[in-house]
Structures are given as C-alpha cells and as structure tokens.
C-alpha cells in the first residue's frame, strides 16, 4: 500500500489527538432503539459513488425515517478527514474501513463492535466469500466491520504486443513460474521485451540498456508487503509474511524461499526485462503501461477501470502464474463498513451497515461493475456485469474460487515495519545489497515485537 505522506501526516496528527481525546472501551452497536434521522456515510472511491448513492436511496425508501448522506473524498485526504472527525466529533456515522487502519481504530476505542447486531439481526456471516468476515475480527475477538468487497491481483497485458510476439491468450493464462529459472513466465516476459532496435529480450544481440518495451512493469519495491509487486510469487512458494495471520508476531523475511524469489525477481531488472527501480519514481505504473512502455503489469482488480480506459491500448487480463506447487497465489484484501463509536445515532447506523452488507445493496454494487462485492452471489453478478461490458474478470475471481488466495497480513507495528522494510527492499531492488541482506532487516523487524 503506497502511502501518500501528505494526507498521512494529517491523519497521524489527528490520530495523536484522537488518542489523547478519547478513551478506550468498546461499545456495542445495535439496531434496536429509535432508528431515525440523518446519518452520514463516507467512502473514498469516486467510481463507486453512484452505486452507493443508489443504495442510500433504496435504503431511504425502505426506511423512510432514515436519510443517508453519502460523501466521497479521495484516498489522500480520506483518512485525514476520518481521524479529524473522530477528534472533532463530527465524523461520519458509518465509513468504508481498511485493514491497514482498523487495528489502530480499535485500540483507541473508535469503532463500535458489531457482535450483538450480528446476533440479534441474524446477519449470515457465511454468505460472504470465505475468509472475508474473519478479517474484521480484532485482536480482542470482537467484530468491527461487515465485509463489503474484496480484491485480488492479476496480470494486465497489452493484447497487441502479445499477438505480435506470437503469444496467445491461452498461453498467457497458463504461465508457470519457479524461482530458479523463472519457467515459462520468464520466457514470456523475455520474449515480450523489445529493445530500441526491435530485438527481443530472448534474441541474440538484445541491448538491455536501451529497452523500448519492458516485458513486465514495476511499480516499486513493494516494501514489506508486496501486495501487487511480488506477493503473488512468494505466495506460491509456501512462504507467508508472518507466523500467523491476522495478528502475527513474527515476520519471515529471512526465509530462503522468500529471498530466492526476490533475487529472481530482481534478476529481471538486471536482464533488462523489467524497468530499473529508479525509473519507477514518477508517473504511476498503469500510466507507463498506457504509454506502451510495458507489455504486462501485475496489479489489483480495483485498477480494472484505469487499465481499460487507456486510449489505443487493447487490454487483456490473465491470472498470475502458477508456482512451484503448481498453484497460483494472490493476496486477498477486503474492505468493510465500520461504525464510528462517536455516532449519535447508533441504531440507524447499525441498520445502514447491515443494509450495506446485505444482498440488496451488494447486488446494486455488482451491477455497476466496478468492484467485487463480498457476498458470493453478488460476486458472480459483478462478474456477469463486467462480462456485459466486455471484460472477462475470471482471472481475479478464479483465485477465490480455487482457494488460492492468502489474506492480507495484519500485524501491529505496521508503520514501523514499513519504515524498516521500504529502504531495505529499495536497496535490494536498486542492486546495492543482495537479497540476503533482508535477513538483517528481518531481525530489526522482529525486534519490534519483543
């Protein structure tokens, strides 16, 4: 998760205050009581605003006593506003929550737990795709969110480039990778790389210092998480970020499986198949893909709209390659809606959260074909809606169906881990240190949990 520091500073600043201003102790949300009045709901993705506005309108029709005011703010400022709202007491009643943030919110007693509501109103936690509901249970064993959507990682590729290279869509869909020689995945990447003179990466005389099109794009070193950068490779080796998830207390960056994968991945840069790390600081990876500078990009499904939007680029989507164990892997991240503990209208807020997590709303979201709702049936509906728009999203949904996903690693000290791992991974990716140097970084990381 790339942090935008500017927003983050305000968030952090406000968090500080929030912490000193509010005292802990979790309270329970419940829909019993007088559910009426106006409540506010915040989200960050403008692409999803129309869907949720419709949910709010439908909800109002069903519950004429409650009006929901939906506000959207871009990611950078969203968290600033959320935390400021906690402090100032004018935050939203209900908001879209993220796994990387909610641990802190729980610690400060800023969320209402939903266990009573789930029990009283018989919310079926099994209707969601497997694992999503579990992500939102805090260290204290209480539930702080109801799942709304999920994301996985896939390969976006330039159709014109692969057909020119004589590679079929089927071949793209059945790539195999291993950390020793990279398998057919590396061969494909090499073949798709073209230098200034038109020589391909697997041809003699390929000039790796003057590459026109890279086989694989690079967004960055991925810090300690690597969600879209390399986690879909390390995940196939049996390696996991932490000893257990969620709330692990030991990181595994010293593992040979991990370091071998990183070494191989880094090797793509040296071979000229992937851009140098230093060249990735600037425009976003999708934009360089849109400029025709890369043939394949690994990215999350939330970027589908971005990739399909580029003028003059024919985009195909393939699943991530299979690994040494013959299976694919993708990090599985989910969002949820949470209730601000400071809400003045917990009853209405609870009703709204339950509505957001219900098939009624998630089907509406599915029909807009922007993200994948958390409810299994709604996911299928979203896939169908994407299909109607001419996009086959099987590469993303397949990972969930085949159970080849692993959950977003949730631990404490996330910011400190990032502070250590970002420079360490940058150093490896820029060729300054060998992958084995990550053992030292791992020791520093694990010292945080002593």
Residues 255-274 that bind another protein (CB under 8 A): none
Q: Which of residues 166-205 bind another protein (CB under 8 A)?
A: none
User: Which segment (120-128, 185-193, 353-361, 422-430) binds another protein by CB under 8 A?
Assistant: 422-430
Contact 26, 100 (CB under 8 A): no
Part of the chain binding another protein (CB under 8 A), chosen from 39-47, 160-168, 174-182, 245-253:
39-47
Binding segment for another protein (CB under 8 A), chosen from 59-67, 158-166, 278-286, 344-352, is: 278-286
* Residue 154, CA atoms < 13 Å, CB-side half-sphere: 26
One residue of 87, 99, 123, 378 binding another protein per CB under 8 A: 87
Q: Any contact of residue 8 with another protein (CB under 8 A)?
A: yes
> In terms of CB distance, is 69 or 244 closer to another protein?
69
CA 358, 361, 362, 363: dihedral to nearest 10 degrees? 120
Query: 264-269 contacts: CB < 8 A, separation 24 or more?
Result: 264/179, 264/180, 264/182, 265/230, 265/233, 266/428, 266/429, 266/431, 266/435, 267/182, 268/182, 268/186, 268/189, 268/215, 268/216, 269/218, 269/429, 269/431
- Cβ closer to another protein: 117 or 251? 251
Cβ-based neighbours of 177, under 8 Å, separated by 6 or more: 183, 184, 185, 186, 233, 236, 321, 322, 323
* Residue that the structure tokens 């099987």 belong to: 394
Which of 30, 31, 84, 362 is in the footprint of another protein by CB under 8 A? Answer: 84
Question: If you ran DSSP here, which 8-state letter would residue 6 be given?
Answer: H
Q: Select from 122, 204, 281, 326 the one that contacts another protein (CB under 8 A).
A: 281
Find, among 243, 211, 270, the residue nearest to 429 by Cα: 270
Between the two ends of the chain, the Cα-to-Cα distance in Å is 25
For another protein, which is the closer residue by CB, 44 or 352?
Answer: 44
219 lies in the site for another protein, by CB under 8 A: yes
Q: How many residues bind another protein (CB under 8 A)?
A: 79
* Binding-site member from 160, 260, 418, 440 for another protein (CB under 8 A): 418
Q: Is 325 in the site for another protein (CB under 8 A)?
A: no
Instruction: Pick one of 73, 127, 367, 439: the residue that binds another protein (CB under 8 A).
Output: 73
CB under 8 A: which stretch of 10-18, 115-123, 137-145, 399-407 binds another protein? Answer: 10-18
Task: Pick the stretch among 161-169, 175-183, 261-269, 419-427 that binds another protein (CB under 8 A).
Answer: 419-427
Based on CB atoms, which residue is closest to another protein, 75 or 402?
75
Instruction: Give the number of other Cβ atoms within 10 Å of residue 46's Cβ.
Output: 10
Nearest to 149 by CA among 341, 404, 368: 368
Helix H or strand E encompassing 384:
helix 376-388
Given candidates 130, 164, 208, 432, which one binds another protein under the rule CB under 8 A? 432
Residues 355-394 that bind another protein (CB under 8 A): none
72 vs 252, beta carbon nearer another protein: 72
Pairing mode of beta strands 66-72, 37-43: parallel
Cα 154–305–56 angle (5° rounding)? 115
423 binds another protein (CB under 8 A): yes
Q: How far apart are alpha carbons 306 and 287 in whole angstroms?
A: 9
- CA 193 to CA 214: how far, in whole Å? 5
Q: Shortest distance, CB of residue 271 to another protein, whole angstroms?
A: 18
CA–CA separation, 355 and 353 (whole Å): 5
Q: Quick check: 419 binds another protein (CB under 8 A)?
A: yes
Q: What gap in Å lies between CA 182 and CA 204, rounded to an integer?
A: 19
Q: Contact region for another protein (CB under 8 A) — 77-85, 258-266, 339-347, 351-359?
A: 77-85
Check residue 291 for interaction with another protein (CB under 8 A): yes
For another protein, the binding residue among 124, 203, 243, 278 (CB under 8 A) is 278
- Residue 140 or 287: the one with the smaller Cβ distance to another protein is 287
The answer to whether 443 contacts another protein (rule: CB under 8 A) is: no
């Amino acid at each position: 998760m790339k942090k935008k520091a500017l927003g983050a500073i305000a968030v952090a600043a406000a968090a500080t205050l929030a912490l000193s201003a509010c005292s802990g102790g979790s309270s329970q949300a419940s829909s019993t009581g007088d559910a009426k009045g106006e409540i506010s709901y915040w989200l960050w993705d403008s692409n999803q605003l129309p869907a949720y506005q419709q949910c709010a309108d439908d909800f109002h029709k069903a519950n004429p006593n409650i009006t929901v005011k939906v506000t959207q703010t871009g990611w950078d400022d969203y968290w600033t506003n959320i935390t400021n709202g906690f402090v100032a007491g004018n935050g939203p009643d209900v908001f879209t929550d993220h796994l990387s943030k909610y641990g802190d919110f729980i610690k400060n007693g800023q969320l209402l737990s939903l266990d009573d509501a789930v029990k009283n109103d018989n919310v079926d936690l099994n209707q969601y795709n497997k694992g999503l509901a579990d992500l939102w249970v805090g260290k204290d064993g209480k539930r702080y969110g109801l799942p709304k959507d999920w994301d996985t990682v896939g390969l976006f590729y330039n159709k014109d480039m692969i057909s020119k290279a004589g590679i079929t869509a089927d071949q793209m869909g059945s790539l195999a990778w291993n950390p020793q020689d990279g398998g057919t995945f590396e061969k494909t990447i090499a073949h798709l790389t073209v230098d200034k003179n038109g020589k391909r990466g697997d041809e003699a005389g390929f000039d790796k210092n003057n590459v026109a099109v890279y086989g694989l794009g690079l967004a960055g070193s991925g810090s300690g998480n690597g969600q879209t950068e390399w986690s879909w490779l390390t995940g196939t080796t049996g390696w996991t970020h932490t000893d257990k998830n969620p709330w692990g207390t030991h990181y595994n960056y010293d593992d040979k499986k991990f370091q071998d994968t990183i070494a191989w991945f880094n090797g793509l840069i040296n071979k000229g198949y992937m851009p140098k790390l230093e060249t990735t600081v600037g425009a976003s990876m999708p934009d360089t893909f849109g400029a025709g500078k890369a043939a394949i990009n690994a990215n999350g499904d939330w970027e589908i709209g971005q990739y399909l939007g580029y003028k003059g680029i024919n985009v195909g989507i393939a699943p991530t390659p299979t690994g040494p164990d013959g299976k694919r892997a993708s990090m599985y991240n989910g969002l949820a809606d949470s209730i601000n503990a400071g809400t003045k209208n917990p009853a209405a807020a609870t009703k709204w959260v339950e509505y957001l997590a219900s098939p009624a709303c998630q089907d509406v979201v599915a029909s807009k074909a922007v993200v994948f709702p958390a409810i299994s049936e709604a996911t299928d509906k979203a896939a169908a809606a994407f299909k109607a728009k001419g996009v086959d999203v099987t590469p993303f949904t397949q990972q969930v169906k085949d159970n080849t996903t692993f959950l977003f690693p949730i631990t404490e000290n996330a910011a400190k881990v990032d502070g250590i791992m970002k420079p360490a991974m940058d150093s490896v990716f820029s060729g300054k240190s060998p992958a084995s140097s990550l053992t030292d970084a791992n020791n520093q990381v694990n010292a945080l949990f002593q």
